[in-house]
Amino acid sequence: MTTRTTVVASEGAPDPMATTAPVLEVEHLRVVFRQGEKTTYAVNDVSLSVPLGRTLAVIGESGSGKSVMSRALMGLLPTTATITGSVRLLGQEILGLPENDLRQRRGKDMAMIFQDPTRSLNPTMKIGTQIAENIRIHEKDVSRKEAIARAVELLRVVRVPAPDRRVEEYPHQLSGGMRQRVMIAIALACQPKLLIADEATTALDVTTQAQVMDLLLDLQQQFGMSMILISHDMGIAATYADDVAVMYAGDVVERAPVTELFGHVRMPYTRMLLDAVPRLDRPAHALIPVTAARPPDLSKAATSCRFAARCPRVQDDCLQTHPPLEEHEDKHAWACFHPIPLERTSA
């Protein structure tokens, strides 16, 4: 990879000057699935950018297209998916790269951790081998023995106890939290510049969740990575992210730095998501406001606001035109014709 030298000066330590050039730039990303007679518009016109060393949280309920989007970035979607737009990793366009070129960047420049660590590890392979595999794919001159030694080191980095013994074990011999640490070790094996964590803590219990998230944050600083946290959990976004993008039915409907977003919610959908989080300052047993409506139909391209059917602020124009995502204020973008006025959200 000669291209990366233009962006990142050295391995490991983050270059403060590089923060100006984003690690990942996504423009007008669309994903359409076609299978037989069925068409699904899973991701519509998503534009994002992740600067070096920063964390972007992508928030949305299930079916909002956040997982499809993250797999599109990694080039992991099946052939039934048509992907258009632009994805630039370290300044180089990777959308439309031949599979063979793309796979040399997967696991090396960008890596991914998945939701269920139990199913994400190969049950018939030793943990050490699974970590070493990532190293040996991208660094052909590394011997098996060296790769295993580095796997031990990586397990130490992700704070797995007794790493020299763990490399010889199989996934079923570890707990869920330990398995997710192994997944992180695999992802970190080649010191990627971008780490995508797709619901990485959802399958874990609450205390383990916090440990794994803290570990991720530490490692991010240690390795100088950028991160994309895919989650449905507003709390995780608020605690660990620098920027937040809210997705609904394949659209990014609101995007802003974390304090701005939670301080001044403009998009009614984001408001609804926040209100759905149980809070201590509300009276006990208070009803959580949820609008009942059928999930949006993704089999047709959007001609109106997809959230209109559930939106308390809906008006006629919402049903006639699809609102585009526009940066209405500095770094704060939303896709809504009738955003919530500022004074109401500042509380």
Partner 1 sequence: MATAYLNTTAPRPNVFVAFVRHPVVRVIGIRLLQAIPILLIATFITFALLNLLPGSTASALLGDGASAEQIKALEIKLHLDQPFWERYWTWLTAAFTGNLGESLVNQQSVTAVVLDRLHVSLSLIFLSITLAVSGAIVFATVSAKKPGGVIDRIFTFISSLGQSIPTFVFSLVMVLVFSVTLSLLPAIGYVPFSDSPIGWAQSMILPVLSMSFPIWAIFCRMLRADLIDQASSEDYVQTARAKGAGGWAVLIRHILRNSIFGLITLVGLQMGSLIGNTAIVESIFGLPGIGRELLNAIHFKDIPMVCGIVVVMVIITVLANLAVDLLYAVLDPRIRHDSRS
Q: Which residues bind partner 1 (CB under 8 A)?
A: 71, 74, 76, 78, 99-100, 103-108, 111-112, 114-116, 119-126, 130, 133-134, 137-138, 161-162, 169-170, 172-175, 178, 183, 186-187, 189
Closest distance to partner 1 from the beta carbon of 135 (Å): 9
Q: Cα angle vertex 131, ends 125, 133, to 5°?
A: 80
From CA 150, how far away is CA 163, in angstroms rounded?
Answer: 11
Closest distance to partner 1 from the beta carbon of 74 (Å): 6
Task: List Cα–Cα distances, 337 to 45, 114, 153, 334, in angstroms.
Answer: 17, 35, 52, 9
Closest distance to partner 1 from the beta carbon of 183 (Å): 7
Closest distance to partner 1 from the beta carbon of 198 (Å): 9
The residue among 7 and 137 lying less far from partner 1, judged by its C-beta, is 137
The residue among 126 and 322 lying less far from partner 1, judged by its C-beta, is 126
Closest distance to partner 1 from the beta carbon of 334 (Å): 32
- List Cβ neighbours of 216 (8 Å cut-off, separation of 6 or more): 184, 195, 197, 200, 227, 240
Helices 144-157, 127-138: axis angle to 10 degrees equals 110
Tokens of 213: 């998230």
The residue among 13 and 76 lying less far from partner 1, judged by its C-beta, is 76
The residue among 133 and 153 lying less far from partner 1, judged by its C-beta, is 133
Residue whose C-alpha is closest to residue 289's, from 279, 304, 302: 279
The residue among 152 and 335 lying less far from partner 1, judged by its C-beta, is 152
Are 191 and 159 spatial neighbours (Cβ–Cβ below 8 Å)?
Answer: no
